[in-house]
Amino acid sequence: MTAAPRLVTAVGGPASLCRFRGALVGAVLGDCIGGEFEGTEPEEIPLDRVLQYLDGLEDETRGDSILQYSDDTAMTRCVAHSLLTRAGFDEQDMARRFAKEYNLAPFRGYGAGVMQVLKKLASPQLSDVYQPARAQFGGRGSFGNGGAMRAAPFALAFRDRADVRRYTRLGAMLTHSCSLGYNGAILQALAVHLSLQGALVLPQDFLKTLITEMEEVEKDESARSDARALNESEFPFCARLHRVKELLERNNVSVEEVISELGNGIAALHSVPTAIFCALHCMEPREGLPEKYGGLERTVAFSLSLGGDTDTIACMAGAIAGAHYGIDAISQSWQRCCEASEEADMLAQRLHNMYHRAPPEGDPGVLSSGNSQQHLRGGSSSEPQPPE
The average pLDDT across 194-203 equals 97
The per-residue pLDDT for range 47-62, each reduced to its tens digit, is: 999 999 999 998 754 5
> What domains, with CATH codes, occur in the chain?
17-60+143-358 (1.10.4080.10)
Minimum mean pLDDT range among 32-41, 73-82, 154-163, 252-261:
32-41
When pLDDT is cut at 50, 70 and 90, the band that residue 6 belongs to is very low
Q: Around 93, how many Cα atoms within 13 Å sit in the side-chain half-sphere?
A: 17
**Strand-pair category, 366-369 with 372-375:** antiparallel
Alpha-carbon span 370 to 130, nearest angstrom? 12
Alpha-carbon span 37 to 311, nearest angstrom? 8
Minimum mean pLDDT range among 10-19, 92-101, 159-168, 350-359:
10-19
Q: Residues comprising the binding site?
A: 70-72, 309, 311-312
Helix axis angle, 17-35 relative to 71-85, nearest 10°?
150
The per-residue pLDDT for range 93-122, each reduced to its tens digit, is: 999 999 999 999 999 999 999 999 999 999
When pLDDT is cut at 50, 70 and 90, the band that residue 361 belongs to is low
* Residue type present at position 121: L
For the cut 90, the answer to whether the pLDDT of residue 251 exceeds it is no
Confidence (pLDDT) at 296: 98
Q: What is the DSSP letter of 383?
A: -
Q: Residues comprising the binding site for Mg(2+)?
A: 70-72, 309, 311-312
Count CB atoms within 10 A of the CB of residue 89.
26
